[in-house]
């Protein structure tokens, strides 16, 4: 049975269904073989929380959008936000109650412009 440790499954499914134009691939955690532009995501925090109806976990997920131009990195980041922000989903018995953008940052890394988006996922 999957738990909130599998939060990346929601990210992969929702981004995969979004058909983000021009992205070569979507990777969990990291890769050394990607060609620009691409998206990488990873779980960065886990905060178990009890509530009246049961238990839920708040999971922080970082999504990195890599591109060769600044404008393209912004376009990808905007598409990621549309695909994930304020969304709900379920995979088998695992339920994503909410997915909210809570932070963002832009940077230059590995010869690419990078848009870093951080989402908090409430999973029960």
Q: What is the pLDDT of residue 32?
A: 78
% of the chain beyond a pLDDT of 90: 54
Give the DSSP per-residue string, 36-50: SSEEEEEEEEEEEEE
Give residue 36's Cα distance to chain centre: 18
% of the chain beyond a pLDDT of 70: 96
Q: Is 63 helix (H, G, I), strand (E, B) or coil?
A: strand
Q: What is the pLDDT of residue 54?
A: 67
**Strands ordered across the beta sheet of 38-51:** 26-28, 38-51, 54-67, 112-123, 94-109, 89-91
Which is more confidently placed, 72 or 93?
72
pLDDT surpassing 90 at residue 17: no
Q: Give me the mean pLDDT over the 55-83 stretch.
A: 94
Report residue 70's pLDDT band, with 50, 70 and 90 as the boundaries. very high
Q: Give me the mean pLDDT over the 51-78 stretch.
A: 90
Q: Give me the mean pLDDT over the 30-56 stretch.
A: 84
Domains and CATH numbers, the chain: 4-123 (3.30.2000.10)
46 and 59 Cβ atoms separated by less than 8 Å? yes
């Amino acid at each position: 049975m999957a738990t909130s440790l599998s939060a990346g499954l929601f990210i992969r499914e929702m981004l995969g269904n979004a058909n983000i134009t021009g992205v070569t691939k979507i990777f969990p955690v990291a890769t050394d073989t990607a060609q620009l532009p691409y998206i990488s995501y990873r779980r960065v925090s886990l905060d178990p929380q009890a509530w009246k109806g049961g238990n839920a976990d708040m999971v922080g997920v970082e999504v990195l959008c890599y591109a060769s131009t600044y404008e393209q990195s912004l376009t990808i980041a905007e598409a990621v936000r549309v695909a994930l922000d304020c969304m709900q989903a379920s995979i088998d018995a695992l339920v994503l109650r909410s997915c909210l953008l809570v932070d963002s940052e832009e940077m230059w890394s590995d010869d690419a412009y990078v848009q870093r988006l951080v989402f908090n996922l409430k999973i029960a």
